[in-house]
Structure 1
Amino acid sequence: MDHPVETTALIVAAMRAEESTRSDCLFEDPFAYDLAGDAGRAALRDYRAASGAGIPIIEVRTRSYDEALLRAQDAGIAQFVILAAGMDARAYRLPLRPQARLFELDQHAMIEAKTRGLQSAVPCCERHALAVNLADDWPAVLVAAGFDPDAPTAWLAEGLLQYLEASVVVRLFERIGRLSAQGSVLLYDIVGQALLASAVLEPVLRYMRELGAPWIFASDDPASLAAVHGFQAEVTDASVIGNAWGRWPFPAAPPHVPGVPRGYLVEAHKRL
């Protein structure tokens, strides 16, 4: 793949494949190795050589949202939407009910690449892969594919927002808000403002710039994006979860300490 964001999807798949081989793995993704392919493993080697990154944010984030999606199912939600799904294999690896409907939105090249990587794999639920650009009228494509805006939905925007202009993020949340019935759940992650200026993380940021996928959006008020659309959000610093699971390389800084590079994980509910 030549598109930089597609390369990042392969890197994430390679990370998930590596995590799945650990004796203390946070999750198992038996599809990630094939989805990453040789290109993903090579890209991950290049990423690590250039950035030296060792913070397991992808691993912690993946496990956190796995659990949140299953909680949503336990609460009665049977409709799921993954925005910019990349090489996400949750339709295949999570114990979703057969009658659940999961919609994956991404660009055509990404959908095709995932189809090749999954080959004859069978999803656990009713999966709909929709080739669409999030800058276009994706809500119309989603509804045409059978999405029910009157049914509660579990939305996932994972590893996406940092690549978008602020105006695009606002529009994305407006569309989600309009399509979300009462009882819906919205999951997303955001990097804090200090992270984009962090000297410690500059090798990572430089790598992403040179790749052509710079991180440009950040916020230290992640809850507000969903709150204006009727969601009540719970925000957690990823380092807090990582420490609880014994996988973070340093202690979590108290929330009042300024200048700390942070990554926020958000679970927001549109209450009944």
Structure 2
Amino acid sequence: MIDQQSMAAVAKTALWTAAARARESNRPDRLFDDPFAGLLAGDEGRELLQHFHTDRAPDDGNPFIAIRTRWFDDFISQACAGAPAQVVALGAGLDTRWYRMPWSDGTTLFELDQASLLAYKVDRLRDVPVPGDAQRRIVPVAFDDSDGWVDALLAAGFDATCPTVWFGEGLLFYLPEQLAHRLLSRVAALSAPGSRLAVDLIGTGIFSFPYTREFLRRLQEANSPWRFGTDDPGGFVAGAGWQVDAVLEPGKPAADFGRWPAASTPPPSAIVPRSYFVSARR
């Protein structure tokens, strides 16, 4: 069992996003169903969801996380295409796709993140059955300049000669720009031809827009500051060695799922908050 002292190391933003997924799953028009998110979020996650969205009702909120989750779900389903696959979740955190997605027999999912966060998830969901013959391998790592995560992934059985489906949801903007670029470059170097990648990025406007200052301050207080944004997400990913397939913004076609308010779509300007979904291949 994970004790309360160990629980203190669980990232608050992970609990918050789990609560947002649970909230979405309770909607009659939900974009996905995550029956495990509420158990992971707990009371603290639900309180944090209100803390980070004080301007909205608890059952409403910004639709971004719901849209982002659905977009990544669709990407992973399409990239795996019902066949055995090698999949790597970068910054897996409290992601529950291992438990809720229909993985094909023979698939191996590697989950990379800080040890305490992964241990908390495994402990809370220890009684959840996973049907089929897929495998999950937990890889506790820190994403830093040492590149120790590469050695840990290889030691866990990752096959660099096999095409891989990589996804990093809600990860890169927590890293300094140089480290985010280094991470994607290392991932590219490990990727055999036919590999796929999905990540999300934020624009630089979020760091200067007055409306987001309080939100960013609360992230800083939670010891989970956003550090990096780019106004050329496609160029950033391509510069790390990837062939970019698509750059999408929430609210635009293929990235709204009927949920994004039309009035909330930002104008084409770098001085307002923007977010991006990027898919690429090797």
TM-score by length of 1: 0.91
Pairing 1:209–2:220 present: yes
Q: CA deviation at 1:232?
A: 2.4
Residue 246 of structure 1 aligns with which residue? 258
- Structure 1: distance between partners of 2:34 and 2:139: 22
CA distance, structure 2, for counterparts of residue 57 and residue 77 of structure 1: 30
Residue 202 to residue 68, structure 1, CA distance change in 2 (3 Å): same
What is the CA-CA distance between 1:51 and the residue it aligns to? 8.3
Distance 1:159 1:98 in 2: 28
Contact 2:248 2:254 in 1 (8 A): no
Residue 104 of structure 1 is matched in structure 2 by 111
Specify the alignment match of 1:193 in structure 2. 204
In the TM superposition, 1:35-184 aligns within 5 A as 35-49=40-54, 54-74=61-81, 78-124=85-131, 125-135=134-144, 136=146, 137-184=148-195
Distance 1:37 1:244 in 2: 28
Q: Following TM superposition, by how much is the alpha carbon of 1:24 offset from its aligned partner in structure 2, in angstroms? A: 0.3
Q: Shift of residue 95 of structure 1?
A: 1.2
2:8 to 2, 5, 10: 2
Q: Size of the alignment, in residue pairs?
A: 269
Unaligned runs of 5+ in 2: 1-6
| Deviation of the 1:243 alpha carbon | 7.2
Of 117-126 and 104-113, more deviation after overlay is shown by 117-126
Q: CA shift at 1:116, angstroms?
A: 1.5
Q: Does 1:14 align with 2:23?
A: no
One-letter amino acid matched to 1:15: A
Task: Please report how far the alpha carbon of residue 22 of structure 1 lies from its aligned counterpart in structure 2 after TM superposition.
Answer: 0.4
Query: Aligned pair in 2 of structure 1 residues 77, 97: CA closer, same or farther (>3 Å)?
Result: closer
1:255 shift after superposition: 6.3
Amino acid at match of 2:142: N
Larger displacement relative to structure 2 (60-69 or 219-228) = 219-228
Which amino acid is 2:116 matched to?
A: A
Bigger drift between 43-52 and 124-133 goes to 43-52
- Give per-residue Cα distances to partners, 1:182-211, cap 9 Å, x unaligned: 111111001111122112222211211222
Kindly, what percent of the aligned residue pairs are identical? 39
- CA deviations on 1:196-229 (whole Å, 9 max, x unpaired) are 2112222211211222222110001111233131
Letter in 1 for 2:11: E
Cα separation, 2, equivalents of 1:151 and 1:243: 29
Which amino acid counterpart does residue 245 of structure 1 have in structure 2? F
Could you tell me how far 1:253 is from its partner in structure 2? Answer: 4.3
Asked whether the 8 Å contact 2:244–2:278 carries over to 1, the reply is no
1:81 and 1:180 map into 2 onto residues whose CA distance is: 11
SS of residue paired to 1:43: helix
Q: Secondary structure at the match of 1:251?
A: helix
CA distance in 2, matches of 1:111, 1:254: 35
Q: Which ranges in structure 1 are unaligned for 5 or more consecutive residues?
A: none
Deviation at 1:261, TM superposition (A): 1.6
SS in 2 for 1:10: helix
Per the TM alignment, residue 252 of structure 1 is displaced from its structure 2 partner at its CA by: 5.8
Cα distance, 1:133 vs. partner? 1.1
Cα offset, 1:242, TM superposition: 8.2
The one-letter amino acid paired with 1:2 is A
